[in-house]
Chain A
Amino acid sequence: MANEINIRRGIDWVTVLLYLSLVLIGYFNIYAAVYNPENPIAIFSLDHSAGRQLMFLGLATILVTFILFIDYKVYDSFAYIFYGFMILLLIATIFLGSDIKGSKSWIKLGSFSLQPAEFAKLVTALALSKYLSSQTVNLKRFSDLWKAAALILIPPVIIILQKETGSALTFAIFLVVLYREGLPGIYPALSLAFVVLLILSLLYSKWYILIGLVVLAVIFYYFILAKRDRKRQNVIRIAGIVLLFSTFTMGVDFFVNKVLQPHQQKRIKILVDPDADPLGAGWNVTQSKIAIGSGGFTGKGYLKGTQTKFDFVPEQSTDFIFCTIGEEWGFMGSLVLIGLYLAFLARILYLAELQRDKFARVYGYCVASIIFFHLLVNIGMTIGLMPVIGIPLPLVSYGGSSLWSFTILIFVFLKLDAHRSYKV
């Protein structure tokens, strides 16, 4: 009894409220996305995605109850076991998984399909938190960094083998967590530099970038570096960085044109110029932008979207759900949704920083980072700022696996948070 009362008091209702707003926005917009004005189906009917999403939500409530009643220490204690079990499941999926749209990432359980990859993030977050919360770990030490990196990189490697590249990319965001926990700033800085270089090398000829790099290096050496630092040693260092970046640029060029499969090449080229092939590979991006753009300031009104109604936008209830919101609710709706997400992220980071237990803090950062990465890629692709990568909009996109994995991810953190006062 006492435990229950304490949980009700200790749970962060602000986060719960934000969670509820997001899942409800998701539910109503999934209904809008599948709504057929000629043949409207009742919102509760299980014959369409919205009805099923409601059922998923019901199951999520059971999951939440379950999480809140389990001892919070379980997550810390069993983190590695969960992780190990997940690795086995992911490997098993490669062999047992059913083929859905060319990806072998789904396991069929009766009439339901489950995507283990969706849960891999969660388990990796737990394992990483467990590892980083150990007193002896220091990310400045190369040996410790390697172990952390291995924890993060094993699941996505298997997921890539399932041909589910989108989900695999998510794991990159753990860099943010590592940074928070003491990873030298040079790593995220270099990563960011590489991302920028990557985008530049897609946009411009590699030769321009190479020349640009050399010019920047010269400017840096003669104008920014203090006179006393202009030593041979630094010349070598700068030359080394330039060489590294140049190799990367050449590598991107090679990678895009020689290594990537044609459909992946297209997705990246469309990001650079969606108008290049508006009816072919650029179709999704163009249609998605038209749907969102046609919403205007206040939108066309609930259930009145025309672009999203008639299948111009593909995957409208799952990966492209943001189009429905943008079209029917306009800029105001988009603003509210992004605002809610930012508030959600800020609240989790705020709570994470309040944790006295390092495990809970690291885990909080994992939760925020994973949600952030999904927003970054999902909304980014609908408005043409990111390549089309099929990952869902957290809590809003249709789909049981995604909804449950985010629900567990968030409520495990809330459970940990609810017990923060007991920590000394």
Chain B
Amino acid sequence: MLESRKQVILFFFFTIGIIYISRLFYIQILDPKYKSFEVTNAIKREIEVPLRGQIYDRNGKLLVQNREVYNMYVTPREVEDLDTTRFCRVFNITRGYFDSTMNDAISYSKNRASLFLRQLSKEEFARVADAMVNFKGFSFEQSFFRTYPGHTLANALGYIAEIPKETYDNQETPYYRKGDYIGLTGIEKEYENELRGTRGIKFKLMDVHGADKGSYENGKFDTTAVVGSDLYSSIDMELQQLADSLFQGKVGSIVAIEPKTGEILVMGSYPTYDPNLLSGKAFSENYLNLIKDPDKPTFNRAISSFYRPGSTFKLVQAVVGQQQGVIDPRTSFIGSYSPMGCHGHGNHHMANLNNAVQFSCNPYFYNVFRKIINNSEHDSPFLAAREGLDRWHNMVGRFGFGRKLGIDLPGEKSQLLPDIALYDKYYGENGWKFSNIYSVSIGEGEVATDVLKLANMAAILANKGYYITPHLIKGIGSENSGVRKELLEVHQTGVQPQHFSAIYDGMQRVIEAGTARRAYIEDIPILGKTGTSQNRKGPDHGIFIAFAPRENPQIAIAAVVENGIWGGSSAGPICSLIIEKFIKGKIERRAFAEQVKNTRFVTVAASKAAR
């Protein structure tokens, strides 16, 4: 009987052996949970965040610059014989700050580095560098933050900030970590992928204390970080700064475009703010102040504000009317009926097209639009208006109205260009005819635009019939390369060039002897048009569009001064000074510029505050 017990014992030993081998088979081969990088805590993925690209203006001046700063870290275990009093004096910190920060660091980890002081400037860093030999356990890490040497172009440039929770949660491929910086508005957002570069991932070996033990597998799986691309903007920083100064104390917007290329020279939205406010330590505080401002400085009026184009729209009616063959430059409407009056001038202004442009004759363009709309075989004015409006809508739409131009900025609006569907909605199907919609003839009623579209219209007029997608970035990585194809596309309006030439005389006379005499410059032939955009909430907005010089135009421009009433007196002079600066390289009319700077208009916010 005892003999069989040796088998029992052997069986017992081997059973345990087999159980252990099965268990090892399970954890070493079957169970994948012990093999991933996540669980293998000896291998840390270290993300190397590359330098973000900088942004230059068209003359090579830095609009957005990375400034070196130094963050100081402390590894509590390595701190030895520290003269705390001296340390606090060198770094200009209080004993209280020292104690609380040090305690936080110790409770986080004695072996790992914790942030101790944030964003020391290069100069501060140089000042303390020598003293550091006495302060063991403290180390510096270079970091960067955005600065804006020109203090301008805030809305177009946008800003970077910590990734918002929603964006973080909705990443298609998990790229960002919590606390990473990301472009949230403007160019910083639009060109985020180019600016941010490519992150490097290094697989590093760590010991249990988190100390670096070199690279894993000699860096076989590592990827190097690629620095973000610099962007070359078409913006002229000096011109932009001039616009800022001319717009001081005013609300509104200005856009200037180089007509041949679609490159945006100036894009201002006012009131503006110094973009440096949204960078660095005081971000949150400054951001809240900006958001609370009733004049909405963070709102980019150039691409998203809703203005009626007013009389500037008459230029579109003039060329579209010619193209449709309902008028020619000699067409006269003397004696024709109009429900709209003129700005105190006589009937002779209706003698021909150029006259009508020069004096911004409302009755004339009422009649032009009536001819466009009613240009049909239909006897019914309702059916005729349908056909006419549709044809008109298609043609005017090609000027960029009622649609997005496709600028390289987030947040561009389509604004409004009336079509059949819109009026059907207002009046019922076939319930409307020309008499219901005639205010569109002078850029009021159901047509609305933003300043970018107006500047683009000026570019079309300068180019006699086409435009290139207006854009802010003309080079990625290097100047004049890497630009998105769609930004260089040529858009034809389908209106023949001679129809544009036909109104040039009238546009020039607007400056020389018309509604915008204050925009006149002696030796630069400017062609322009004023407008007044009706505003229910307060005084009307003043509008001006122009291009110059007449031959081989170099700049097309549009500006809106909110509550500026007359474009000729509010927006016109600003545009004139910008044109002068751009073409001549300097302002010769110093006194005039000062006068424009000091002009104030009663803004909504100001009138509210007064109340």
User: Footprint of B on A, CB under 8 Å?
Assistant: 37-38, 176, 179-182, 287, 289-290, 292-297, 306-307, 309-312, 326, 330-331, 334-335, 338, 341-342, 345-346, 349, 353, 365, 368, 372, 375-376, 379-380, 383, 385
Contacts and interface: CB of A to CB of B under 8 A. Distances in A.
B17 interface: yes
A22 B343 CA distance: 109
A334 B9 contact: no
A311 B9 contact: no
A295 B25 CA distance: 11
B213 A310 contact: yes
Nearest to B16: A376
Contacts of B25: 331
Contacts of A385: 19-20, 23
Nearest to A368: B13
A289 B42 contact: no
Q: Which of A294, A295, A335: most chain B CB closer than 10 A?
A: A294
5 contacts: A310-B42, A335-B21, A349-B9, A379-B20, A383-B23
B510 interface: no
B5 A180 contact: yes
A297 B24 contact: no
A292 B41 CA distance: 13
Interface in B12-51: 12-14, 16-17, 19-21, 23-25, 27-29, 31, 33-35, 39-43
A126 B24 CA distance: 35
Contact of B34 (A37, A293, A379): A293
Interface of B: 2, 5-6, 8-10, 12-14, 16-17, 19-21, 23-25, 27-29, 31, 33-35, 39-43, 205-209, 213-214, 216
Contacts of A295: 28
A292 B6 contact: no
A182 B43 CA distance: 55
Contact of A290 (B19, B40, B214): B40
B9 A37 contact: no
Contact of B6 (A289, A331, A353): A353
Nearest to B24: A334
Contacts of B20: 338, 379-380, 383, 385
B17 A307 contact: no
Contacts of A293: 27-28, 31, 33-35
Q: Which of B33, B41, B206: most chain A CB closer than 10 A?
A: B41
A182 B1 CA distance: 9
Contacts of B216: 306
A330 B23 CA distance: 13
Ranked 8 nearest A-B pairs via Cβ: A293-B34, A310-B207, A306-B42, A331-B28, A311-B208, A293-B27, A334-B24, A342-B17
Contacts of B28: 292-293, 295-297, 326, 330-331, 334
A309 B42 contact: yes
Contact of A326 (B5, B17, B24, B33): B24
Nearest to B23: A383
A306 B27 contact: no
A307 B24 contact: no
B206 A331 contact: no
Nearest to B216: A306
Contacts of B33: 293
A346 B9 CA distance: 10
A349 B6 contact: yes
Contacts of A180: 2, 5-6, 9
B33 to A, nearest CB: 7
A307 B35 CA distance: 11
Contacts of A372: 13, 16
A312 B24 contact: no
Contacts of A307: 40-42
A34 B29 CA distance: 26
A294 B39 CA distance: 9
Contacts of A312: 41-42, 207-208
Contacts of A368: 13
Contacts of B14: 342, 346
B370 to A, nearest CB: 81
A37 B31 contact: no
A322 B25 CA distance: 15
Contacts of A346: 10, 13-14
Nearest to B10: A349
Contacts of B29: 296-297, 331
Contacts of B35: 293-294, 296
A364 to B, nearest CB: 11
Nearest to B25: A331
A310 B206 contact: yes
Given A290-B41, A307-B42, A37 B213 contact: yes
Contacts of B2: 180-182
B295 to A, nearest CB: 53
Nearest to A376: B16
A263 to B, nearest CB: 20
A328 B31 CA distance: 17
A331 B25 CA distance: 6
A9 to B, nearest CB: 26
A311 B209 CA distance: 8
Given A294-B35, A346-B10, A379-B20, 11 more contacts: A38-B213, A287-B41, A289-B34, A293-B31, A294-B40, A296-B35, A310-B213, A312-B207, A331-B25, A342-B17, A383-B20
Contacts of A326: 24, 28
Given A293-B27, A346-B10, A338 B40 contact: no
Given A180-B9, A334-B24, A342-B13, A37 B214 contact: yes
Given A37-B213, A293-B27, A335-B21, A176 B9 contact: yes
B313 to A, nearest CB: 70
Contacts of A179: 5, 8-9
Contact of B21 (A292, A294, A311, A334): A334
Nearest to B5: A180
Contacts of A181: 2
Contacts of A297: 28-29
A310 B34 contact: no
B502 to A, nearest CB: 80
B278 to A, nearest CB: 39
A287 to B, nearest CB: 8
A182 B5 CA distance: 9
Contacts of A176: 9, 12
Contacts of A290: 34, 39-41
A334 B28 CA distance: 10
Nearest to A332: B28
A265 B241 CA distance: 73
A341 B24 CA distance: 15
Given A38-B213, A293-B34, A353-B6, A310 B208 contact: yes
Contacts of A380: 20
Contacts of A38: 213-214
Nearest to B19: A385
A306 B205 contact: yes
Q: Which of A37, A306, A309: most chain B CB closer than 10 A?
A: A306
B13 A345 contact: yes
A134 B206 CA distance: 60
A176 B216 CA distance: 48
A289 B208 CA distance: 15
B24 A331 contact: yes
Nearest to A311: B208
B267 to A, nearest CB: 54
Nearest to B1: A182
Contacts of B13: 342, 345-346, 349, 368, 372
Contacts of B16: 372, 375-376
Q: Which of A38, A342, A365, A380: most chain B CB closer than 10 A?
A: A342
Given A179-B9, A180-B6, A296-B29, A309 B24 contact: no
Contacts of A345: 13
A287 B25 CA distance: 17
Contacts of A341: 17
